[in-house]
Structure 1
Amino acid sequence: MALTHLHGPVVVIGTGLLGTSIGLGLEHRGVPVYLEDPSPTNQAVAVDIGAGRPVAEMSPVAEGRGAVQPELVVVAAPPDVTAEVVASALARWPRAVVVDIASVKSGILASLRAAGADTARYVGTHPMAGREKSGPVAARGELFTSMPWVVCAHPDATPEAVRIAKALGTDLGAMVVEFDADEHDEAVALVSHLPQVMSSLLASRLQGTDLRLLALAGNGLRDTTRIAASDPGLWVQILGANASKLVSHLYGVREDVERLITTLEAPTAPGARLDLAQLMSEGNAGQARIPGKHGGPPQAFAWLTVLVDDRPGQIARLLTEIGEIGVNLEDLRLDHSSGRNVGMVEISVLPSKHDALVAELEERGWRVLQ
């Protein structure tokens, strides 16, 4: 059993993707978890897959002292009801620390203060992890491994409450970072909410498009529209709660789009090509600032593409042989060759390992494109 900082029990209110993933992760580490959800179906699924037991089964303390008191309550409710559920949990379990995992923080803290809730035992948190799929069936206990877990301590919170909030992220294998609530909301507007909006806007242009044209789509379109498959209902709440922070970034995007349109309306005019090159260069510069593997400094990796027959076991064999060669993969992407039963495995490695890996794979019979 893994060493944990939490002892439990932990109550998780909300058994969607994140709440159930938290339950699975903690149960795997031996922390007892109890689950509650307004949807009996979601709660039953989460229980069935091992994320915890129903809150109703919390055993009574000996000598009639009442129900077991949780060490921590995690509110994994939709953003528009999070403050209400947190306030209820603070009143219901007067000795427990209560955290939420909603993706916007300032409004929740303000609502709790306005309601007179005991914010000394409340800390806002936000795990920067997720999937396009939703619901307990999509949950994974390792969902938070090596992902940022933001803890938004505030002046009202006790040191013990902050410690327990950090312990939750640590026990789930996440990288705990501290932001204040307003700073957090500004950050996620840029790195999370704006990408979602841009992806959805791009994907919306594909509606009604001739499927013959879409057959030409490659990884570029797939990569940039992947998150457009996210839950619309959830994102209506997230975008509405952080609208003021997001709008400032959208103003900037609008200026850039208008600049691009003006340039492309006269693409051969003096200075037009320079402006297009400048626009692309600005994108290069921004992309290069995104942190690299495990949150470290950006690194330049070398890529190669290996053709793999589209039959069971081939990708597993390729990865096994790369491991035998002794090269660590920095990133991996999969694609299919249009009209052929061939998969394309794009592999990223340190530049110093590229040539030796290509030579070794070719010697072992793999078809490598550089």
Structure 2
Amino acid sequence: MPEPLPGSTGTSGIAGPVEVVGAGLLGTSIGLACRRAGLEVLLTDTAGENVRTASGLGAGRPRAVGDRPALVVVAVPPDHLGEVIAAALDATEGTDAVVTDVGSVKSVPLAAVADHPGAARYVGSHPMAGSERSGPLAGSASLFDGRPWAITPHAGSAPAAVETVEALVRLAGGVPVWLTPAEHDRAVARTSHVPHLLSALVAARLAAGPENHLALSGQGVRDVTRVAAGDPRLYGQIVSANADAVVALLDEVRADLDRVRDAVGRGDRGALEEVLAHGVQGTRVIPAKHGGPARPMASVWVSVPDHPGELARLFADAVASEVNIEDVRIDHDPGRPVGLVELLVEESRAEHLVTSLESRAWSTHR
């Protein structure tokens, strides 16, 4: 890894060191990405062990007295964003240093600093990347590669500050998505916060379920409840900070739920199918890979013995069939050492894949 001189811009266009405040998963990953680009990185965290760990991973060095960052990236929990952004603006008063944050809600921290004398140097941002793990040891320089990263300038943001934040996004490998703070918060309420709450409600119905009911659990319930395993304290902060957008969508969901309940209670299959069809429409507008338009997909299920090497053999045979696998899911049979692997492929190629795999002695169905 290159060792730039203090103040070096590397190849990024950022004119000086980057300070990362909060050396957790995101902060450490940003530090690693900046170091990958040749930038000097200064690390700050209220937990000294996080700074030591992130430094040991090569994400930067502890900030020292006299350091003058050109860019400060605030990567702290949602409850503390406003105060830490304000403190960063105070600490860089009289300079051109830009301050951004990577919090998952944008309107609340902006409101906290909107009247700050240095507000023109603040531009919010939010990388749509993460991990089921947390802390600096989970950090990765490639965490943001190819991932959407929202940039949310406010009306008073200086153009040069916006350009600096865009430079950060690009050097970290992210794909800039431009939104206002309010648009961002409505977007993440729809695509992240409300889905998380609904997933938690479904998962909660399982917590007190009889064992013989839970024995029937399949891949469907695992798909629906996966995100419910997230840290309740963190997601409580996130959702609370985005209350207006979340409540508006929950009202829509509640109205739909009432309609579903009434339709089921009346035995009104037409009304029920209308709601279900609306859900199908929703799945079809989710962007496909690389952000392209959604394409018709089909699932091919393959029985795979649950021992080493079988998945590799299946994938090799799929490659030999010249069919691109778009996604993979695995469901394990409870009563035998076999897994059911779901291969998601373009609809027009599904039949060919089935025929090809069966010719290689795989047991398949659609």
Query: Does the residue aligned with 1:299 lie in a helix, a strand or coil?
Result: coil
The alpha-carbon deviation at position 5 of structure 1 amounts to 4.7
Query: Does the residue aligned with 1:248 lie in a helix, a strand or coil?
Result: helix
Work out the CA distance in 1 between the residues paired with 2:258 and 2:113.
41
Work out the CA distance in 2 between the residues paired with 1:315 and 1:109.
48
Work out the CA distance in 1 between the residues paired with 2:219 and 2:39.
41
Query: Does the residue aligned with 2:123 lie in a helix, a strand or coil?
Result: strand
Output the amino acid matched with 2:336: R
- Contact 1:5/1:171 (<8 A) preserved: no
In structure 2, the residue matched to 1:31 is: 39
Work out the CA distance in 2 between the residues paired with 1:321 and 1:48.
42
Answering whether residue 120 of structure 2 is matched by residue 106 of structure 1, we say no
Query: Does the residue aligned with 2:206 lie in a helix, a strand or coil?
Result: coil
Change (3 A) 1:328 1:210: same
In structure 2, the residue matched to 1:86 is: 85
The alpha-carbon deviation at position 101 of structure 1 amounts to 0.7
RMSD: 2.1
Percent pairwise identity: 44
Question: What pairs with 1:1-370 in structure 2 (closer than 5 Å)?
Answer: 4-6=12-14, 8-56=16-64, 67-93=66-92, 94-114=95-115, 116-267=116-267, 272-370=268-366
Work out the CA distance in 1 between the residues paired with 2:341 and 2:19.
42
Output the amino acid matched with 2:295: Q
The alpha-carbon deviation at position 316 of structure 1 amounts to 2.9
Extract unaligned runs of 5+ from structure 2: 2-9
Aligned length: 356
Query: Does the residue aligned with 1:30 lie in a helix, a strand or coil?
Result: coil
The alpha-carbon deviation at position 8 of structure 1 amounts to 4.6
Change (3 A) 1:222 1:111: same
The alpha-carbon deviation at position 302 of structure 1 amounts to 2.2
Query: Does the residue aligned with 1:205 lie in a helix, a strand or coil?
Result: helix
Work out the CA distance in 1 between the residues paired with 2:83 and 2:177.
26
Change (3 A) 1:359 1:3: farther
Change (3 A) 1:207 1:23: same
When normalised by structure 2's length, the TM-score is 0.90
Output the amino acid matched with 2:307: R
- Contact 1:69/1:95 (<8 A) preserved: no
Work out the CA distance in 2 between the residues paired with 1:88 and 1:363.
65
Output the amino acid matched with 1:19: G
- Contact 2:331/2:341 (<8 A) preserved: yes
The alpha-carbon deviation at position 342 of structure 1 amounts to 1.3
Q: Deviation digits for residues 192-214 of structure 1, max 9, x if unmatched?
A: 11111101111111122223321
Extract unaligned runs of 5+ from structure 1: 57-65
